Amino acid sequence: MIEQKSVLVRIEGRVQGVWFRGWTTAEAQRRGLNGWVRNRRDGSVEALFSGPVDRVNDMLAACATGPTAARVSGVYPKPADPPQHPGFVGLPTL
């Protein structure tokens, strides 16, 4: 059985208005991850990534750079429960 991992991550820096949510959704779907991504009113992006450990770790590493226009200053993951539903989606700003 493949070991699974779920993390709730906050991404800070210039991460809104640079297509970070769309990029995250595409990258997470490409990796076959479950979860969601949303902007937060404080200017950060928050995401839940769930799936095989190596794919989640790869996604976290990718978030440290993000899309071309982004300037990431920090990626802060913490353990989380897996999402209730399969697939990866964008959510409204919180």
Kindly report, residue by residue over 5-33, the tens digit of the pLDDT: 999 999 999 999 999 999 999 999 999 99
For residue 39, indicate whether it is catalytic.
Answer: yes
What is the structure's pLDDT at 47?
98
- Active site residue: 10, 14, 21, 38, which one? 21
**Options 14, 31, 38, 39, the catalytic residue:** 39
Tell me the per-residue pLDDT of 25-65, one tens digit each, with 9 for 90 and over: 999 999 999 999 999 999 999 999 999 999 999 999 999 99
pLDDT at 77 over 90: yes
Q: Is the pTM of this model over 0.85?
A: yes
DSSP 29-85: HHTT-EEEEEE-TTS-EEEEEEEEHHHHHHHHHHHTT-STT-EEEEEEEEE-PPPSS
pLDDT of residue 1: 81
